[in-house]
Amino acid sequence: MRSGGAIWALGAMSGTSLDGVDAAMLLTDGERILEFGPTAFRPYSSTEQATIRAALGLWPGDDGVTAAAEVVEAAHADLLSRFSGADIVGFHGQTLAHDPRGRGTHQAGDGALLARVLGLPVIWDFRSADVALGGQGAPLVPFFHFACARHIGADQPLAILNLGGVGNITWIDPRQSAPENHGALLAFDTGPANAPLNDLMQARTGQPIDPQGETAQAGRVDEDRIASFLAHPWFHKMPPKSLDRNDFHAALDMGNLGLEDAAATLTAAAAAAVARGAEHFPVPVTRVLVTGGGRHNARMMAELSARLRADVEAVEAAGLDGDMLEAQAFAFLAVRVARGMATSGPATTGVGALVGGGQISRPD
């Protein structure tokens, strides 16, 4: 790998929505985004999804973890081998469990195996070092979000909101010269996002998502349930803070609500959690850019617009790719790890000092 200048990195992300693997190329020196490259998506089959879903909440050595890891590794090898021209690979793996104040964090998938298969250096296990040093291990994308804000020419504080299975938000002051600077970033998980809605749709309809929010559009929000949800102790915690996919499972039990009303209420809950989180911003923002699958949900975007005092729009409005932003982020972070640069800090994960996480596995 060339040192110093910009290199092509290939990043991969498999999120808590369990839809599949995103992969994206990025030309970067670990500080700036020089060029966005090719992207691709490889969906998980229903059988693969079921294998991974069965391992959610499990830890290394538990029954079912090896099978899930094999699915993750095979899917990534299949997708990443279609790319050419990369100098390095950033491999996030599939999060099965996240308990930073307890057992730690667990992402399934062996980066050393991928390095041998792909014949390239693979940076992986991005979260463990941060957790070991007292951080939350999440969210990890804020340093990349800072680079994105600078890349699009932002000159005032703004927020980038990722709505995957769990929601996370990054408050950014692009007037700072680097993400490590005091006051440049604040990041945290906002609460559950698509995961409870996806689980509802899977359980009641056999479909994995609510396409474009059509089911939620037909329902009415139970605001009493939203108020009860916002009383959860999570919302009284100061950021940085992070969640496991299933942390709000009991708090978001829709009980006897019909499908449409349940979908509308879960969608509104995700937006209400973001609005509550925005109260922690160092200064208010007038623009929120939304990435992740949630931006395709028209009811979700409408709820965000109604509950936030800011312009809410998909990141595509700023020339970014909301389907690939996290894959691009792990390409960016891979270069930072390889070059000994920080990938998280006190304002993004709550770790005591700047941390450069990640293992480096080489083909040999």
What confidence score (pLDDT) does residue 3 get?
55
Burial string for 8-26 (b: 16+ CB within 10 Å, else e) reads bbbbbbbbbbbbbbbbbbb
| pLDDT higher than 80, residue 244 | no
Question: 176 Cβ partners below 8 Å, 6+ apart?
Answer: 146, 183, 184
| pLDDT higher than 80, residue 150 | yes
What confidence score (pLDDT) does residue 225 get?
94
Q: pLDDT band at 304, cuts 50/70/90?
A: very high
| pLDDT higher than 70, residue 2 | no
Choose between 1 and 313: higher pLDDT: 313
Mean pLDDT on 34-43? 98
- The stretches of the chain forming alpha helices (DSSP H) are 46-54, 65-80, 111-118, 128-132, 142-151, 194-205, 214-217, 223-230, 259-278, 298-307, 325-338, 346-349
pLDDT digits (tens, 9 = 90+) for 64-96: 999 999 999 999 999 999 999 999 999 999 999
What confidence score (pLDDT) does residue 36 get?
98
Q: What are phi and psi of 74, to 5 degrees?
A: -65, -40
DSSP reduced 3-state for 20: strand
Q: pLDDT band at 250, cuts 50/70/90?
A: confident
Mean pLDDT on 240-261? 84
Domains and CATH numbers, the chain: 7-135+330-342+353-361 (3.30.420.40), 153-318 (3.30.420.40)
What confidence score (pLDDT) does residue 25 get?
98
Q: How much of the chain exceeds pLDDT 70, in percent? A: 99
| pLDDT higher than 60, residue 224 | yes
What confidence score (pLDDT) does residue 243 get?
80
Taking all residues of the chain, what is their mean pLDDT, rounded to a whole number? Answer: 94
Mean pLDDT on 26-49? 97
| pLDDT higher than 80, residue 266 | yes
Q: What are phi and psi of 67, to 5 degrees?
A: -65, -40
Mean pLDDT on 178-197? 94
What confidence score (pLDDT) does residue 258 get?
96
Choose between 208 and 269: higher pLDDT: 269
| pLDDT higher than 70, residue 156 | yes
pLDDT digits (tens, 9 = 90+) for 106-123: 999 999 999 999 999 999
| pLDDT higher than 60, residue 136 | yes
| pLDDT higher than 60, residue 1 | no
CA 31, 36, 40 angle in degrees (round to 5)? 125
Question: 136 Cβ partners below 8 Å, 6+ apart?
Answer: 100, 130, 240, 241, 242, 349, 350, 351
